[in-house]
Amino acid sequence: MRQYETFELTFKGEEPAGSFADIDLKAVFTNDGESITTYGFYAGNDTYKIRFFPKKTGLYTWTVSGLFSAAGEEMCDKADEGVHGMVHAKDLHFEYEDGTVYYPIGTTIYAMMHQDKELVETTMDTLSKAPFNKIRLCVFPKHYDFNHNEPDLYAFEKTDGKWDVHKPCIEFWDVFEERMARLCKMGIQVDLIIFHPYDRWGFAGLSKEDSLTYLDYLLRRFSAIPNIWWSLANEYDFVGNYNKQDWIDFGKYIKERDPYGHCLSNHNGFEYWDFSLDEITHCCIQDSNVNEVPDLQRKYNKPVVFDECRYEGNIHHGWGNISAKEMVRRFWVAYTLGGYCTHGETYYSDDEVLWWSRGGVLKGESPERIAFLKSILDELSGPLYYVNEGLGRYTREMIMDMKKNGIPEEYKRDFFSNGLVQLSDERVQPYILNIRPCFAHVGDEAYLRYFDRDCCSKTDIDLPEDRKYKIEILDTWEMTRTVYSESASGKVSLELPGKEGMAVFACAVD
């Protein structure tokens, strides 16, 4: 047993007579007085497995009960170098179990797991060279434009012509796991989409009871896999099969059954999910207005990931034809507001292999630029927090409150406070989104300001007086870094080239 690596107990026994999913098998792992219960699953081929994910080092004792009775102990060794454990939400950001910062740089390949082997290999190869460390992908296959291929395997077998959630297709899950393990080795988190609406097979029409059985098997198999995030749905509100309470029930069921607290959220079509729910670890957003990050952070006090901000591509759907520049822009906006963004690509090709859903090769110009952003993030000593000053202070909630209750004393002399309260209700949010500066910091270690579409040729940056900073001018599209000063302090006047997509990066050198 090794810290941060899935530990597995295997038992041989006859195939279950009834449900493969709902079986009576569990284990309790105890270390230093702390006990964790984990449930076993039927893994096919007369084999039962119980998985456990050890977070601590030291001696674990375990007892198995139910279909099998057994007990034992394992010494858990310290994690291998470079193995950091699961990712968890922490404050407005994410980190691995060992405290290493994790900056999600996601992409989307919804039906990656439902493609033929050759295409999956191509996708894996592409991912090995791409900047992405999180993939949004589905358990169930996808039926949609450019997504008409029939998968080799499905999550369940059929009984009497109907999907039988009690008979998981063992090969499907084995292949799925093997691919997740490969992604894990590449440092990629799997943001697993449990339900989605784009279906011709009937997976989007499971009864509530069947859905919970499916969840049960999923949790028994996958909970102890380190690189899993639970995404209740892609576009939960487009899945006609479930109501709001159903989604709440699914979330709570997962929270109860997942002893490790994997990241958990729910992705919207129209209205955002209720991220204030206790079991929701972060805000998973579909929207184009990535500059809403600070509003959402302040509302929910959880990390904000714009997991779908439209796709770089050229298809006829409006959500699938933003330019590479626009995708890069949305990334920079999100990160310099202290949030995160997820990539996707929808360039049409005659073979109908579009990255966003089926994988293959990346054709766009944004990944390279996203890698450039990542290279900046990798130099930081911690996650970026929004600079909550000047125009950056204002959120819609605050303005609406001032409109109702008056301007607080400390804002009374502020030109913008006095103006913003004059705006009609419907203009407050669009106005705030337009004036909000993209400016983030890591304590007084680093400052990163993105100028978005502003083409200023001059600007100022206010740095602390008591430290020295290296200032670089970044061209986020050309991916250049130009040193402006090796040792600056206080208010610094900067010259910029007067074009879109520039950024200023100041990093302490003392």
- Applying CB under 8 A, the span of 28-36, 87-95, 143-151, 447-455 interacting with a second copy comes to 447-455
Residue 419 found at the interface with a second copy (CB under 8 A): yes
Min separation Cβ 253 and a second copy, Å: 24
Q: How far is the CB of 488 from a second copy (least distance, A)?
A: 18
CA distance 384 to 369: 19
- The yes or no reply on residue 63 touching a second copy (CB under 8 A) is no
Q: How far is CA 426 from CA 134, 264, 423, 429, 431, in A?
A: 36, 32, 8, 7, 9
**DSSP letters for 198-226:** --SSSGGG--HHHHHHHHHHHHHHHTT-T
* Token pair recorded at residue 195: 């339900």
58 contacts a second copy (rule: CB under 8 A):
no
467 CB-contact burial (10 Å; exposed 0-12 / middle 13-18 / buried 19+): middle
- Regarding 261 and contact with a second copy (CB under 8 A), the answer is no
CB of 166 vs a second copy, minimal distance in Å: 34
- Does position 334 interact with a second copy (CB under 8 A)? The reply is no
Q: Does 500 bind a second copy (CB under 8 A)?
A: yes
Binding-site member from 70, 75, 435, 509 for a second copy (CB under 8 A): 435
Map tokens 């082997």 to a residue: 117
Measured distance between the N- and C-terminal CA atoms of the chain, rounded to whole angstroms: 42
C-alpha distances in angstroms, 110 versus 140, 197, 252, 284, 303?
9, 12, 24, 15, 22
Among 17, 410, 434, 466, binds a second copy (CB under 8 A): 434
Residue type, 134: K
In eight-state DSSP terms, residue 264 is E
Residue in 237, 258, 345, 475 binding a second copy, rule: CB under 8 A: 237
CB of 436 to a second copy, least distance (A): 10
Per CB under 8 A, 288 contacts a second copy: yes
Residue 263 in 3-state DSSP?
A: coil
Q: Does 364 contact a second copy by CB under 8 A?
A: no
Contacting residue, 29, 132, 154, 272, with a second copy by CB under 8 A: 272
User: What's the closest the beta carbon of residue 271 comes to a second copy, in angstroms?
Assistant: 4
Q: For residue 499, state whether it binds a second copy (rule: CB under 8 A).
A: yes
Please report how close the Cβ of residue 388 comes to a second copy at its closest, in angstroms.
18
Q: Is 318 in the site for a second copy (CB under 8 A)?
A: yes
State how far the Cα of 456 lies from the Cα of 498, in Å rounded to an integer: 5
* DSSP track, 340-399: EEB--EE---TT---HHHH------SHHHHHHHHHHHHTTSSS--EE--SGGGG--HHHH
Rule CB under 8 A: say whether 459 interacts with a second copy: yes
Q: Is 315 in the site for a second copy (CB under 8 A)?
A: yes
Q: Binding segment for a second copy among 19-27, 214-222, 425-433, 440-448 (CB under 8 A)? A: 425-433
Compose the 376-405 pattern: x for residues touching a second copy by CB under 8 A, - for all others.
--------------------x---------
121 vs 495, beta carbon nearer a second copy = 495
Q: State in angstroms the smallest separation of the CB of 94 from a second copy.
A: 25
Q: How many C-alpha atoms does 461 have within 13 Å on its Cβ side?
A: 30
**What CA–CA distances, in Å, run from 93 to 16, 23, 294, 343, 447?**
43, 37, 13, 18, 17
Number of residues that bind a second copy (CB under 8 A): 48
What is the C-alpha to C-alpha distance for residues 251 and 217, in angstroms, rounded to an integer?
15
Binding site for a second copy (CB under 8 A): 237, 269-272, 287-289, 292, 313-318, 321-323, 325-326, 348, 396, 419-420, 422-431, 433-435, 453-460, 498-500
